[in-house]
Amino acid sequence: MAKTEVVPIALRGVDVLNHSLINKGTAFSAMERSELGLVGLIPPHISSIEEQIKRSYRNFSQKRAPLEKYDSLMGLMSRNELLFYQFAMRHIAEVLPILYTPTVGDAAMQYSWIYFHQRGLYLSYEQKDLLDEAFANYPQNEIDVIVVTDGERILGLGDLGVGGMTIPIGKLSLYTLFAGIHPAKTLPILLDVGTNNQALLQDELYLGWRKTRLTGKEYDEFIERFVVAAKKRYPKALIQWEDFGRNNARKILNRYKEQMLCFNDDIQGTAAVALAALFAAVAAKKEKLSDQKVVIMGAGSAGTGIADLIATAMQNEGLSSDEACARIYLIDIDGLICFNSKTTDEAQQPYVKAQAVLKDWRLHSEMISLMDVVRNVHPTILVGVCAQGGIFTKEIIQEMSRHTERPIIFPLSNPTPKAECTPEEAIQWTDGKAILATGSPFAPVEYQGEIFHIAQCNNVYIFPAIGLGALAAQACRVTEGMFLEAAHALASFSAARKDPHAALLPPVEQVRNLSRQIAMAVAKRACVEKVAKVPLGNLEQEIENRFWEPSYPNYVYCISSSSLGHNNQ
């Protein structure tokens, strides 16, 4: 429960109003206004939090374009974070698509035009020798979570350079909203290693390093410099790798996942939330995951991450590693990953199909297309993470549905125009039999008098709870088992297990409460795998101790105080 505390601060006057983590706007009491030197600096009416939320919502609602709403939210966050989080929690279903996908993609594309001051660090390669100085300049001495990107693969939009900073900012606000991580203990970081986006390089307003993107040894060395500097300044922080390009994402994860507390949300978080939805979908069919045949369109970081976690889950149900991988088919831009693929990377290797597997297939060209795979494999699950809008055509969906009573179809690419198909299309093309989850938010679909609710496979169901659980357990590593446990925990809350028209995942309004329970499952798994320092019996209290509530404290002036208003800690 939220507690009203007396918090000493060493700021007065406009310095109070200019500090977003302390500022209460018109909610300062008469005593606070007198003691903190605020008399005359704000309107005389003392607002309740309810009045402030109502005022904020009216302002938010009057904005018409999503990007205008985004600017409104960022402005509120920059002025008064306690109010921002209370407002966002109250109206989370409306706020989430603005604060994160799909609108955050628009903000990333226009970042250099709409730039606003926000907490965080911009670490440029041209200042590679000054990383310690940059971290020292950051005023917070205690950080729990760092989200870092190099801006190369922002959602399904590609290389947006310095504009990628919107992603760590957005993700960390979700850590606070859904897992109670104090905003002052979060740090968004943009590693500016240049961009290959020519439109950005030619834009006179572009705020990033105007060089083509760094690669090879220099890039790897810069990542290492960042890791060393980050762990030196914040040795206990969890690092979440976010929206790195295909050539770097898994390489970075594999290099550092055994050395420190870190994970890649695009590889592991996406996989876990997709797996949770799949667990719910096969339960609704009263089947097992290990009985399914899975086709994944998109064989990059997200696709191989999903494949790996599905394979692990199938092995837990009794299949061998080879048997599990044999049931998963990966398709890339050049077709099915198989013996004659032009190139395959290490992550794709377990899923390469041998010539003997394909010898009886009916094919129409040398490149084995999605339609070829669907026609020959008869998949029961079709997942899209290729960012090619509309690639799940009517012909493909209908061919799939001819061979399975209730096809499981997950068009997970975002933002919305990148979705492989829409829920309405999938439901119409399968006569209402499809079981769906999407990457972007979609409204319920009405078909033949029935309403179908569509789950959004939003990583927010998983990554905040993973972070909270790992921190509460004081884990030294984030393991695959912790993600698997999170997926099982999330799936257990699915209403679709009993209602065929319910969404596969719970409403987003429930995520803040569910995060505690998922975090507990994650922390327990950390103890089982012996990567935790906190004893099993102390985990629940650790989670509660870390779960911040954005309530206003009572401030008193104290010249010797170093507090930044970190109440409820």
DSSP state of 430: T
Q: Which helix (H) or strand (E) holds 335?
A: strand 335-336
**Per-residue confidence at 497, pLDDT binned at 50, 70, 90?**
confident
For residue 401, pLDDT over 50 is answered with yes
Report the candidate in 348, 121, 112, 104 with the shortest Cα–Cα distance to residue 243.
104
User: Which tokens go with 109?
Assistant: 């594309």
Helix, strand, coil in percent for the chain, rounding step 5: 50, 10, 40
Does the N-terminal peptide bond of residue 415 adopt cis geometry, omega within 30 degrees of 0? yes
User: Which tokens go with 333?
Assistant: 């831009």
The average pLDDT across 329-357 equals 94
Q: Are 568 and 2 in contact (CB under 8 A)?
A: yes
Q: What's the pLDDT tens digit per position in 367-377?
A: 899 999 999 99
For residue 504, pLDDT over 70 is answered with yes
Residue of 1 and 473 predicted with greater confidence? 473
For residue 412, pLDDT over 70 is answered with yes
The neighbour count for residue 272, using CB atoms within 10 Å, is 34
Task: Report the alpha-carbon distance of residue 97 to residue 365 in Å, rounded.
Answer: 41
Q: Where are the domains of the chain?
A: 6-265, 268-457, 463-546
Q: What's the pLDDT tens digit per position in 249-271?
A: 999 999 999 999 999 999 999 99
Say what percent of the chain tops pLDDT 90.
92
**Per-residue confidence at 4, pLDDT binned at 50, 70, 90?**
low
Sorted by sequence, the CB contacts under 8 Å of residue 460 that are 6+ apart come out as 96, 100, 174, 178, 508, 511
Q: What is the pLDDT of residue 537?
A: 97
Task: Report the alpha-carbon distance of residue 157 to residue 103 in Å, rounded.
Answer: 12
Q: What is the pLDDT of residue 1?
A: 42
Q: What is the pLDDT of residue 54?
A: 98
450-452 and 445-447 strand pairing? antiparallel
Q: What is the overall mean pLDDT for the chain? A: 95
Task: Report the alpha-carbon distance of residue 196 to residue 206 in Å, rounded.
Answer: 13
Alpha helices in 335-454 (DSSP H): 355-358, 370-377, 394-401, 423-429
Q: Are 488 and 279 in contact (CB under 8 A)?
A: yes
The average pLDDT across 202-213 equals 97
Which residue in the block uniquely carries the two structure tokens 């950051």? Answer: 138
Q: Are 419 and 439 in contact (CB under 8 A)?
A: yes
Q: 268-457 adopts what CATH topology? A: Rossmann fold (3.40.50)
Task: Report the alpha-carbon distance of residue 293 to residue 285 in Å, rounded.
Answer: 14
Q: What's the pLDDT tens digit per position in 83-115?
A: 999 999 999 999 999 999 889 999 999 999 999
Task: Report the alpha-carbon distance of residue 305 to residue 457 in Å, rounded.
Answer: 15
80 vs 20, 73, 107, 274, CA distance in Å?
A: 5, 10, 21, 35
Q: What is the pLDDT of residue 560?
A: 72
For residue 564, pLDDT over 70 is answered with no
Q: What is the pLDDT of residue 364?
A: 77
Any idea what the Cα angle at residue 268 is, between residues 245 and 272, rounded to 5°?
A: 140
Task: Report the alpha-carbon distance of residue 503 to residue 277 in Å, rounded.
Answer: 9
Task: Report the alpha-carbon distance of residue 183 to residue 173 in Å, rounded.
Answer: 7
Q: What is the pLDDT of residue 209?
A: 97
Chain centre to alpha carbon of residue 531:
24
The mean-pLDDT minimum among 18-27, 108-117, 400-409 falls in 108-117
Say what percent of the chain tops pLDDT 70.
98
Task: Report the alpha-carbon distance of residue 290 to residue 159 in Å, rounded.
Answer: 37
- Backbone phi, psi, residue 238, to 5°: -80, 135
Q: What's the pLDDT tens digit per position in 132-190?
A: 999 999 999 999 999 999 999 998 899 999 999 999 999 999 999 999 999 999 999 99
Active site residues: 100, 171
The residues pairing with 189 across neighbouring beta strands, listed in sequence order, are 121, 148
CATH of 6-265, one of 3.30.70.2190, 1.10.8.60, 3.40.50.10380, 3.30.499.10: 3.40.50.10380
Question: What does 40-95 look like in DSSP terms, one character per residue?
Answer: TTS-S----HHHHHHHHHHHHHH--SHHHHHHHHHHHHHH-HHHHHHHHHHTHHHH
Q: What is the pLDDT of residue 567?
A: 46
Q: What is the pLDDT of residue 65?
A: 96
327 vs 286, 310, 458, CA distance in Å?
A: 19, 10, 25
User: Which tokens go with 561?
Assistant: 């105080």
Q: What is the pLDDT of residue 569?
A: 42
- Helices 66-79/92-99 angle, 10° precision: 100
Q: What's the pLDDT tens digit per position in 416-457?
A: 899 999 999 999 999 999 999 999 899 999 999 999 999 999
The average pLDDT across 279-286 equals 96
Per CATH, 6-265 and 268-457 having the same topology is answered yes
Sorted by sequence, the CB contacts under 8 Å of residue 299 that are 6+ apart come out as 330, 331, 332, 337, 348, 351
Q: What is the pLDDT of residue 3?
A: 53
0.85 surpassed by pTM: yes
